Amino acid sequence: MLSVEIAHIGQYLTEYSRLATALDKAGAAPAPGEVEFLTETTARDWRGIGMLPPAEVLFAAAVTSILAPPSAIELGTASGFSTAIIAKIMALREAERGAPGKSPLLHTIDKCADFPPDPTKPIGFAIDLVAPELRERIVLHPLHDSSFCQELPSNGELRFAFIDGNHRHPWPLVDVLRIQARMAGGWILLHDIDLPATIARAQAEGRAGDLQPASGAKHVFDFWPDAKISAGNIGLVRVPSDRRSLGTLITPLRDFPAEVSAGSATKRWREIDRLRL
């Protein structure tokens, strides 16, 4: 398994090249304006709006830039910070191609209507702070879970998704199975693939607050049956060409204790069994 961690913007071009090679896009380079946008974004203090750490911002941006998807789906909008980062990189690639479009760049789904840390703010509020010019090309779908993926248009072209929803096992497994069913292939970006260790480090430094460890995304990433790339607490997995291989993902995850209520776990596993190929 390849590990690519971009600690700061000064490492962006070097690690971008390594990542591009791993994604069979050797020779790819950032879009015009991309490095400048990321330099400014990672230098600002975004505390209070759910910003990903700079290293995770840079990895997510590099992946999006290299894959250059024309459209994407995100699960877990929250503040909309990551939504805006991904959409902005997609828009820069689109502009580079000389064909700026009007159709949605990104559909983002969240079970909430308001931002949980601050219910006075709606989900996605950070889009207007990070990339306000793209607000009309990002479609928010509040009060839905990943089952809403089936309602979204894919036209057989969806090849990129970002999952950052409920991390409690087995929810991430449900989410990834639902979203891959809408995809023609491609890659899925997963957040919090090392959440227990990340929280443990934060607790040791006295900055974890009331965060609770959850291992669902870690289990999915650890047992993923196809290519994957790690970047600390964020990672990328390739959708298998033979979806039947996902059965080898589901089986070992049954042995891990559920991190949701007993009733919720029963419902989730019934759904997983229905989704199993």
Q: What is the pTM of this model?
A: 0.95
The predicted pLDDT at position 30 comes to 98
Per residue in 216-258, pLDDT (tens digit) is 999 999 999 999 999 999 999 999 999 999 999 999 999 999 9
CATH says 2-275 is which class?
alpha beta
**Average of pLDDT values for 50-70?**
94
pLDDT at 203 over 90: no
Give the largest Cα separation in the chain, rounded. 52
Lowest-pLDDT choice from 26-35, 98-107, 144-153: 98-107
Tell me the pLDDT band of 113, cut-offs 50, 70 and 90.
very high
Task: Single out the residue of 104, 100, 64 nearest to residue 82, CA to CA.
Answer: 64
Q: Given pLDDT bands bounded at 50, 70 and 90, which one contains residue 48? A: confident
Which of 116-130, 195-209, 213-227 is the least confident region? 195-209
The sign of the dihedral angle between the CA atoms of 181, 182, 186, 188 is: negative
Band (pLDDT 50/70/90 cuts) for residue 67 is: very high
pLDDT at residue 57 tops 60: yes
User: Cα-atom radius of gyration of the chain, to the nearest Å?
Assistant: 18
C-beta atoms surrounding 15 within 10 Å: 18
Given a cut of 80, whether residue 277 has pLDDT beyond it is: no
How far is it, in rounded angstroms, from Cα 84 to Cα 138?
A: 8
Mean pLDDT, range 71-97, rounded to an integer:
96
Distances, alpha carbon 97 to alpha carbons 66, 88, 106, in Å:
14, 14, 18
Is pLDDT above 70 for 208? no
Q: How long a stretch of residues is the chain?
A: 277
The rounded mean pLDDT for the chain is: 93
More confident residue, 171 or 203: 171
Distance (Å, rounded) from C-alpha 222 to C-alpha 216? 10
For the chain, the structural domain boundaries read: 2-275
**Which one, of 178, 181, 139, 176, lies nearest residue 156 by Cα?**
181
CB 250 within 8 A of CB 272: yes
Pick the more confident residue, 99 or 235. Answer: 235
* pLDDT score of 209 more than 60: no
pLDDT over 90 at 9, yes or no: yes
The dihedral sign for the CA sequence 256, 262, 264, 267: positive
For residue 187, the tally of other CB atoms under 10 A from its CB is 24
- Looking at this protein, which amino acid is placed at residue 179? I
Smallest CA-to-CA distance from 195 within 176, 179, 172 is with: 172
- Our measurement of the distance from residue 237's CA atom to the centroid of its chain's CA atoms, rounded to an integer in Å, reads 11
Q: What is the pLDDT of residue 265?
A: 95
Which residues does 167 contact at the CB level (< 8 Å), separation at least 6? 192, 195, 214, 215, 216, 217
Tell me how far apart the alpha carbons of residues 104 and 34 are, in angstroms, rounded to a whole number.
20
| Chain Cα centroid distance, residue 141 | 16
Q: In angstroms, rounded to a whole number, what is the distance separating the alpha carbons of residues 64 and 108? A: 15
Which tokens sit at 228? 């994957």
